Amino acid sequence: MRNVGQMKKRLWQVAAGMSLAVAAMSMVGCASMEERALINDAIVAGAGFEVEYTAPMDGRVYYYDQTSKRILITKSLRQGEKFEIVTGPGEPQLQSILGAKARDARMLLYFRPEAYSPNYSSQLGSQGSSY
């Protein structure tokens, strides 16, 4: 029985992934599939040019500029591992990526758990918040 449940879950994941891929291919000029999945499947874990976050479980963080709709950094984290960034609109690397838009950037840090769980937002506790 346990294997049947795992197979159903895996089939659902494959079907959901295929649906997302088809939807993304049909949307010309919209955000990338990764960005759309990020917004739907992750929680905002921080905001601004100085962010520190400790992963409550294994997962991935995405440092994202909401203004340009670009993911600037992705990093896998293990439970308890810390992600920290200190930057600013005048930072040369940020300027080279975003250009003049760097001063208008609205930086968000998203966290997406590695293993899907319908209740993962409640497992995150006070770590996840809305900005």
- How confident is the model over 72-123, as pLDDT tens digits? 899 999 999 999 998 888 888 888 888 767 788 899 999 999 876 555 555 5
Q: What is the pLDDT of residue 1?
A: 53
What are the φ and ψ backbone dihedral angles of 113, each rounded to 5 degrees? -60, 150
pTM: 0.61
Confirm if 69 and 27 have CB atoms less than 8 A apart: no
The domains of the chain are located at 1-30, 32-127
SS3 121: helix
Confirm if 94 and 68 have CB atoms less than 8 A apart: no
Dihedral of CA atoms 76, 11, 29, 26 in degrees, nearest 10, equals 170
